[in-house]
Structure 1
C-alpha cells in the first residue's frame, strides 16, 4: 500500500501570500483525486509540495508509512506529468521513455520490457520510437510524457493540467485514455485542473479549492448534487447554477410573486440565497406549485437543449434572471413564460457566509 496523506499542509511566501492553508486529505491505492479550482487557488502549489519541488511552511506529507515532508524529490518515488510535457527535445521517444530508468540504473533488459509495455498500452507504435518530440503531434507528445511516468512504476502519480495544451476533440480522447490507464495502475493519483469536466469524469473524489482552502472533498457526484457552500455550487456545473439572493417573508423566500418554502430554520434571516441548476427549472407539470413567471430575453442553442434566460416578474427594483435548460422541440422566443422549480433540487445558502443550510426537513 502506498497511501498518500497530507496533514495540515501550509505554504506561506509572505503574510499576504499564503497559497496553501492547512490542507488535510488522503489518497489511497487506486484512488484518483482531482484538485479543482480557479487560477490562484493553491492547487498547483499543493502538487509541487507533494512532489518536493516546494518546501512546506508547516504540516506533514506521508507516502505509505514514510514521512517524506523533507525528502528530496528523487527520494519520494513519485512520477509527475507536466502541462508542458517537459520532454527532452534532443532525445528520441525511446530515449525519453527510458531516461528516468537509466538514472535509477535499472538493467537494460528490464528497461526495454517496461518501455515496450508502456508503449503498447499507450498506442505508441514502433515507428514513433526513433522520432524526436518536435516530430510528434500534441497528443503523441502527451502520451510520451505519460509513458515516461508509467515506466517508473512509482508509488504516486502527479499530473499537472496535462490536457490543457490539447484541442477540444483530442482532449476528450486523451481524457478517456487516461481514465482507463490509471484505473489499472492501483496507486494514488493526484490530478490538477481548472476544468470541471475533467474533474467530474476522471476522479473517484474531488477536492474543490479556493483561496488556499479545501472547500469540499467528496466523490464527484456528491460535489455536484450536494455542494457544501455557495462557491462550490457556483463553480461546479455547466451551465452554472442559478444563485439568487431573495428576501424572506415568514417561512417563505420570495422569487418575484412566487412563494418558495424555506427549510426548517431556527431563525429566518431577512435574506437567503436560493440555488437551483438550470436543468431543474422546467416546464410546469400537474402538481407543481412553485411556479415563476417572466419574459424570455435570451435563447442559447446547446445542441440537445436550449439555455433560456428569463427576467422574472418582480416588484423589486433589481431584475432577477433565471436560466433554464429546456427542450429543443419547442421555439422559445421573446415573450411571457412560466416555469416550475423542482423543490427537491433547491439549495439554500447563507447570504453572509455562503455556507449551505442543511435540508433535513423541508416544507413541501
Structure 2
C-alpha cells in the first residue's frame, strides 16, 4: 500500500510569494490525480513538495503511512517524469531506461527483464540501441516514461509530460498513458494546465488557483457541478457563460426576462448565472427558459457552430453551441436555457449558490 497524503501543505519563498497555501489531499493506490490550473497556481511547486525537491514551510507529506517530509528525494521511492524528458544524450535508449536500476545494483538479468517488459508495453523494443538525438519527440517522451515505470516506484509523478508534443502526437501519447497507468496499482499525480488531459486521464482532479485548492472531485463532478465561479470558467471549452444579474424577489433579471432562482434563506441582490454553451438550444423547448436575442456572430468549428447572441433588453451576451447542420432564419432568434443545467454563484465570493 502506498497511499499518498498531503496534510496542510504550505510553501512560502518570501513574504509575498506563497505558491502553495494550506493544501490537504489524499491519493489512494491505483488512483490517478491531476493537479489542474493556470500558470502560477502552485501545481508544479506542489509536485516538487511531494517529490522532496522542495521542503514545505508547514504541513507534511505521508507515503504509505510514513511521514517522508524530511526524507530526501532519493529515498522516497518515487518516480518523476519531466516536461523536458531529461534524457542522457550520450546514452542509448536501453542505458537511459536502466540507469537508475544500475545505480541500485540490481542484477543484470533482472535489469534486462524489466527493460524488455516496459519497452514492449511502450513500443520501444526496436529502439534500444538508438540515442535520444535519433528519436522523435513522442519516442523520447515514451523513453522518459519507460525509465519511470521500470523502477517500480511507490508513486508516479508527471510534470506536464505532453506539453512539448504537437497536437496529434499528444492525443496518441495521452491514450497510451491512460492504458498504461490503468495497469499500475500505484498513486499517480499528474500536473497540467490542459483541461482535456485532466478530464480524460483522471480519476480525480484537484483544481488550483493562487495556491488554494478550489475543488477536488471526479472529472464528471468538476464539469457538471463546479464548486465556484473560477472552476466553472476554467473547465470547459468553449468557456461557460458567466453573467452577473440583478435579483427581483426569487428571480434573476436577464434583459426582458426573469429566471427563477433556487430557494434560499436569504435572497441576494445580485447573482452570477452560469450555463455552458452546449446547454442552450435554438428554439423554444419545454425544459428551458426561453429568451429572444440578436445573433451577431457565428464561429464555425467544423462539427459545431458557436453563436453569440445579445439578449433582448440588455447588453448581455450568451454563446450557444449548436450542431453544424442546424439552421435558422434571420438575426433575431429564440434560444432556450435548459433549466436543470443552470449554475448559480454568489457575486461576493464566487461560491456555488445551491
The reply to whether TM is greater than 0.5 is: yes
Matched, 1:168 2:167: yes
Look up the SS of the partner of 2:302 in the other structure.
coil
Question: 2:207 aligns to what?
Answer: 208
Q: Could you tell me how far 1:304 is from its partner in structure 2?
A: 2.0
Question: 2:116 aligns to what?
Answer: 116
The answer to which of 13-22 and 278-287 deviates more is: 278-287
Question: 2:326 aligns to what?
Answer: 330
Question: 2:80 aligns to what?
Answer: 80
Look up the SS of the partner of 1:53 in the other structure.
coil
Question: 2:274 aligns to what?
Answer: 275
Question: 2:26 aligns to what?
Answer: 26
Look up the SS of the partner of 1:177 in the other structure.
helix
Work out whether residues 87 and 145 of structure 1, in 8 Å CA contact, stay in contact via their aligned partners in 2: yes
Q: Could you list the runs of 5+ residues in structure 1 that have no partner in the other structure?
A: 359-364
Taking only aligned residues, the RMSD between alpha carbons, in angstroms, comes to 1.1
Question: 1:49 aligns to what?
Answer: 49
Work out whether residues 207 and 218 of structure 1, in 8 Å CA contact, stay in contact via their aligned partners in 2: yes
Look up the SS of the partner of 2:335 in the other structure.
strand
Q: Could you list the runs of 5+ residues in structure 2 that have no partner in the other structure?
A: none
The correspondence of residues 1-364 of structure 1 with structure 2, limited to 5 A, is: 1-126=1-126, 128-288=127-287, 290-314=289-313, 316=314, 319-331=315-327, 335-358=331-354
Moved over 4 A (4+): none
Look up the SS of the partner of 2:124 in the other structure.
coil
- Post-superposition Cα deviations, 1:21-61, rounded to whole Å, max 9, x if no partner, equal 01100111110000000000000000000001101110010
Counterpart CA distance in 1 for 2:339 and 2:287 is 9
Cα 1:29–1:288 shift into 2, 3 Å: closer
Counterpart CA distance in 1 for 2:284 and 2:334 is 11
Look up the SS of the partner of 2:333 in the other structure.
strand
Q: Could you tell me how far 1:81 is from its partner in structure 2?
A: 0.3
Q: Could you tell me how far 1:288 is from its partner in structure 2?
A: 4.7
Look up the SS of the partner of 2:56 in the other structure.
coil
Work out whether residues 82 and 159 of structure 2, in 8 Å CA contact, stay in contact via their aligned partners in 1: yes
The answer to which of 289-298 and 40-49 deviates more is: 289-298
Look up the SS of the partner of 1:290 in the other structure.
strand
Counterpart CA distance in 2 for 1:346 and 1:139 is 41
Count of residues paired in the alignment = 354
Work out whether residues 287 and 339 of structure 2, in 8 Å CA contact, stay in contact via their aligned partners in 1: no
Look up the SS of the partner of 2:265 in the other structure.
coil
Look up the SS of the partner of 2:216 in the other structure.
strand
Q: Could you tell me how far 1:2 is from its partner in structure 2?
A: 0.4
- Post-superposition Cα deviations, 1:5-33, rounded to whole Å, max 9, x if no partner, equal 00000100111100000110011111000
Counterpart CA distance in 1 for 2:149 and 2:288 is 56
Work out whether residues 8 and 24 of structure 2, in 8 Å CA contact, stay in contact via their aligned partners in 1: yes
Counterpart CA distance in 2 for 1:336 and 1:286 is 17
Counterpart CA distance in 2 for 1:270 and 1:326 is 33
Work out whether residues 256 and 292 of structure 1, in 8 Å CA contact, stay in contact via their aligned partners in 2: no
Work out whether residues 295 and 334 of structure 1, in 8 Å CA contact, stay in contact via their aligned partners in 2: no
Cα 1:220–1:92 shift into 2, 3 Å: same
Counterpart CA distance in 2 for 1:325 and 1:332 is 13
Counterpart CA distance in 2 for 1:182 and 1:221 is 20
Look up the SS of the partner of 2:352 in the other structure.
coil
TM-score by length of 1: 0.95
Q: Could you tell me how far 1:334 is from its partner in structure 2?
A: 6.2
Q: Could you tell me how far 1:330 is from its partner in structure 2?
A: 2.9
